[in-house]
């Protein structure tokens, strides 16, 4: 079985990356050009070699675009209006300017005046804002949509209707309709185009220029038109199983559609090896060391604020048992964000607006500052930076009973952040645990260094905007 690749970057997104790279690099060159005309900064750029200026432009563009990626601006499924996009763009340019300013002295005599970098940042902000306004007007992210026909209109097919009901969920494809098949449940497709074929599937697909057929009928033993599907495939129509389609388009695995043989034979779910484990340890240890260097002032201030609110004898940290790799228990360390007597009545799942949370606790939980002491857990090897979030043993036992494949998330190390935290909002119910499991299984199946890096970059958005958990 092939492993579908999640199309987080649509064709429109990839084109936008290239267009905005030119805009950001061009903004720096424009700032140099305008300074040559109006001399608003006393800086002789003509003394700097042209190849150094070119490097400046490329580095400026790449760093600002990396910030844009962290802010989710290249996510084709971003649900923001122009105001929200501008806010993210403003933060991205500000972060990019800060990083470029830190790197600037390393150019030596080829360094640019900070005023020129600031001017380039302002120019890029206006130019890219204009580009973004244009893309929102013409549905740029929906460029080169595929024409999709779903084979089936029953219960299985209805998952597509329910999970991908918004326009932003369908940016990469146009839903032509759902073909009614024998054996389909009556309570399936409700609001979509239901199709009763009068001709063969092949003729219909060719006549309506179908790019892809998604097989999603409820009863397959006697109702799967294998010959016609094969004929469609020979004629260039892509044939996709519903499980793979949902995985590709949403970045999650539909747990309710999984069958045991799929887990065994599907590509992905790569086994760990000694080299991978060694590289992971080096990466986590290095990241942990540098993160501690950058965040220790924040942690010190947090500790002082907790003491000021709850008294000098109040504990700063909170240790709690969690389930890690291979189901082994370990103690996680966090800044205490709840009252000391928060669990006097037994273990409870934390909720978004939990009344047990202290005033300082609300702030540090929103921006995930309470998680920083888990650097210790990473350094000790109990956790990685990226992976499924660890849960408490009391809840894990119940979730394993009620949610199929829940225990599979313990086949990798838990993490400080994860794919589920990027894709799903805060949730503390069993239903939320099921939704997060879909994303956790996707991560386990596709985990790689590049995916880990993407998750770490995108976690900046979660921290700055207080999303996810």
pLDDT in tens, 399-451: 999 999 999 999 999 999 999 999 988 777 899 999 999 999 999 999 988 89
Q: Which of 150-154, 273-277, 354-358 holds the top average pLDDT?
A: 150-154
Higher pLDDT, 350 or 432: 432
Is the CATH number 2.60.40 carried by domain 145-250? no
Mean pLDDT score, 222-237 = 94
Q: What is the pLDDT of residue 47?
A: 78
Q: What is the pLDDT of residue 160?
A: 95
Q: What is the pLDDT of residue 5?
A: 54
Does residue 3 register a pLDDT over 60? no
Q: Give the bridge partners for 150, in sequence order.
A: 178, 214
Other C-beta atoms within 10 Å of 385: how many?
A: 22
Contact present, 309 and 364 (Cβ < 8 Å): no
Q: What is the pLDDT of residue 228?
A: 96
Q: What is the side-by-side strand order in the sheet with 173-179?
A: 194-195, 173-179, 146-151, 212-215, 238-241
Mean pLDDT score, 254-275 = 80
Contact present, 251 and 439 (Cβ < 8 Å): yes
Using CA atoms, how far apart are residues 291 and 80, in angstroms rounded to an integer?
30
Q: What is the pLDDT of residue 151?
A: 97
pTM value is: 0.86
Does residue 116 register a pLDDT over 70? yes
- The residues near 328 (Cβ < 8 Å, ≥ 6 apart) are none
Average pLDDT in the chain: 89
Mean pLDDT score, 144-155 = 93
Confidence of residue 331 (pLDDT cuts 50, 70, 90): very high
Does residue 258 register a pLDDT over 80? yes
Does residue 138 register a pLDDT over 90? no
Mean pLDDT score, 68-77 = 88
Contact present, 364 and 336 (Cβ < 8 Å): no
Q: Which of 373, 375, 383 is CA-nearest to residue 289?
A: 375
Q: Which of 51-65, 168-182, 413-427 holds the top average pLDDT?
A: 51-65
Contact present, 434 and 403 (Cβ < 8 Å): yes
Does residue 243 register a pLDDT over 90? yes
Mean pLDDT score, 202-216 = 97
**b/e burial code for range 12-49 (CB count within 10 A of at least 16 → b):** bbebbeeebbebbbbbbbbbbebbeeeeebebebeebe
Using CA atoms, how far apart are residues 201 and 182, in angstroms rounded to an integer?
14
Q: Give the CA angle between residues 430, 431, 434 to the nearest 5°.
A: 90
Does residue 140 register a pLDDT over 90? no
Does residue 7 register a pLDDT over 60? no
Q: Which of 116-130, 168-182, 357-371 holds the top average pLDDT?
A: 116-130
Does residue 143 register a pLDDT over 90? no
Q: Where exactly are the structural domains of the chain?
A: 11-141, 145-250, 274-465
Q: Which of 186, 185, 383 is CA-nearest to residue 288?
A: 383
Secondary structure string (H, E, C) spanning the chain: CCCCCCCCCCHHHHHHHHHHHHHHHHHHHHHHHHHHHHCCCCCCHHHCCHHHHHHHHHHHHHHHHHHHHHCCCCCCCCCCCHHHHHHHHHHHHHHHHHHHHHHHHHHHHHCCCHHHHHHHHHHHHHHHHHHHHHHHHHCHHHCCCEEEEEECCCHHHHHHHHHCCCHHHHCCEEEEEEECCCCCCCCCCCCCCEECCCCCHHHHHHHCCCCEEEECCCCCCCCCCHHHHHHHHHCCCEEEEHHHHHHHHHCCCCHHHCCHHHHHHCCCCCCCCHHHHHHHHHHHHHHHHHHHHHHHHHHHHHHHHHHHHHCCCCCCEEEEEEECHHHCEEEEEEECCECCCCCCCCCCCCCCCCCCECHHHHHHHHCCHHHHHHHHHHHHCCCEEECCCCCCHHHHHHHHHHCCCHHHHHHCCCEEECHHHHHCCCCCCHHHHHHHHHHHHHHHHHCCHHHHHHHHHHHHHHHHHCCCC
Q: What is the pLDDT of residue 223?
A: 83
Ramachandran sector of residue 37 (left: φ over 0; alpha: ψ -120 to 50; beta: rest): alpha
């Amino acid at each position: 079985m092939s492993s579908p690749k999640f199309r987080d970057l649509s064709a429109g997104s990839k084109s936008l990356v290239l267009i905005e790279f030119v805009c950001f690099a061009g903004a720096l060159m424009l700032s140099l050009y305008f300074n040559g005309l109006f001399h608003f900064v006393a800086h002789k750029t003509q003394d700097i070699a042209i190849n150094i200026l070119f490097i400046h432009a490329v580095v400026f563009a790449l760093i600002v675009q990396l910030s844009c990626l962290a802010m989710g601006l290249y996510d084709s499924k971003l649900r923001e209006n122009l105001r929200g996009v501008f806010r993210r763009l403003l933060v991205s340019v500000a972060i990019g300017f800060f990083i470029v300013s830190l790197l600037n002295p390393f150019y030596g005599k080829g360094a640019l005046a900070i005023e020129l970098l600031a001017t380039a940042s302002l120019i890029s902000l206006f130019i890219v804002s204009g580009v973004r306004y244009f893309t929102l007007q013409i549905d740029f992210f929906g460029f080169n949509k595929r024409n999709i026909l779903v084979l089936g209109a029953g219960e299985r097919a209805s998952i597509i209707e329910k999970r991908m009901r918004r326009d932003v969920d369908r940016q990469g494809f146009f839903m032509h309709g759902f073909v009614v098949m024998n054996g389909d449940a009556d309570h399936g497709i409700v609001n979509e185009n239901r199709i009763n074929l009068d001709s063969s599937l092949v003729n219909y697909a060719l006549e309506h220029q179908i790019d892809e057929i998604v097989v999603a009928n409820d009863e397959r033993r006697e109702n799967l038109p294998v010959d016609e599907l094969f004929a469609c495939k020979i004629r260039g129509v892509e044939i996709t199983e519903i499980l793979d389609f949902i995985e590709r388009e949403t970045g999650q695995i539909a747990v309710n559609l999984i069958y045991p043989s799929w887990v065994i034979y599907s590509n992905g779910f790569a086994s760990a090896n000694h080299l991978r484990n060694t590289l992971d340890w080096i990466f986590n240890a290095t990241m942990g060391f540098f993160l501690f260097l950058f965040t220790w002032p924040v942690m010190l201030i947090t500790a002082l604020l907790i003491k000021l609110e709850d008294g000098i004898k109040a504990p700063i940290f909170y240790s709690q048992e969690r389930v890690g790799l291979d189901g082994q228990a370990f103690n996680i360390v966090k800044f205490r964000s709840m009252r000391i007597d928060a669990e006097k009545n037994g273990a409870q799942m934390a909720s978004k607006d939990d009344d047990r949370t202290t005033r300082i606790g609300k702030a540090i939980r929103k921006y995930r500052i309470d998680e920083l002491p888990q650097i210790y857990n990473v350094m000790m090897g109990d956790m990685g930076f990226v992976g499924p979030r660890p849960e408490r043993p009391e809840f894990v036992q119940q979730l394993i009973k009620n949610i199929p494949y829940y225990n599979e998330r313990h086949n990798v190390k838990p993490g400080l952040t994860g794919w589920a935290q990027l894709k799903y909002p805060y949730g503390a119910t069993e239903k939320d645990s099921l939704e997060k499991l879909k994303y956790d299984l996707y991560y386990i199946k596709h985990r790689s260094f590049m995916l880990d890096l993407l998750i770490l970059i995108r976690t900046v958005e979660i921290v700055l905007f207080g999303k996810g958990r």
